[in-house]
Amino acid sequence: AAQQVGRTEAVVVIDIPSSYDVDEAGSRINPQVSMPVILINPEITEASKTTATLEEGCLSFPDLSAPISRAEEITLKYLDIQGQPQNIRVKQFLARAVQHELDHLNGVLLVDRMSPLKKIAMAGQLKRMKKSTQEQLAEE
């Protein structure tokens, strides 16, 4: 983490497969973005009122997914790898991925975005994951 070495940058690296960034006609949805995209100190400056609710998973919670509502388009400001200020507008899956990763930077996890009903339905699975994690930490 940047804080451990006296830095305050927040960094996200996103590399989505090209097949996730095409429309029905096969055209790129976000042609202005080359993968992987590196976002330093990213900040969403605008989000569309139009949202989409899709099943979302997370590497932090393997085998767990939930319907999550997110803005379909967002505008970001960030620094690129050369430290130059950038602004981009991204759509659909890439916008979802950016929002998911910015949640992580802000301490928000997938389970924090789940509906109360989904949390109740997954209570047993979440408890087992918590217990397993605690046991692994105790071994270290």
H or E stretch at 111: helix 110-113
* Residues 129/68, Cβ–Cβ less than 8 Å: no
Q: How many residues does the chain have?
A: 140
Active site includes 73? no
| Distances 73 to 4, 23, 78, 90, 96 between C-alpha atoms, Å | 33, 15, 16, 6, 8
* Band (3; pLDDT cuts 50, 70, 90): low
24-61 pLDDT, tens digit per residue, is 999 999 999 999 999 999 999 999 999 999 999 998 88
* Residues 38/11, Cβ–Cβ less than 8 Å: yes
* Band (4; pLDDT cuts 50, 70, 90): low
66-120 pLDDT, tens digit per residue, is 999 999 999 999 999 999 999 999 999 999 999 999 999 998 989 899 988 888 8
How high is the pLDDT of residue 8?
A: 80
Active-site residue, selected from the candidate residues 24, 46, 55, 101:
101
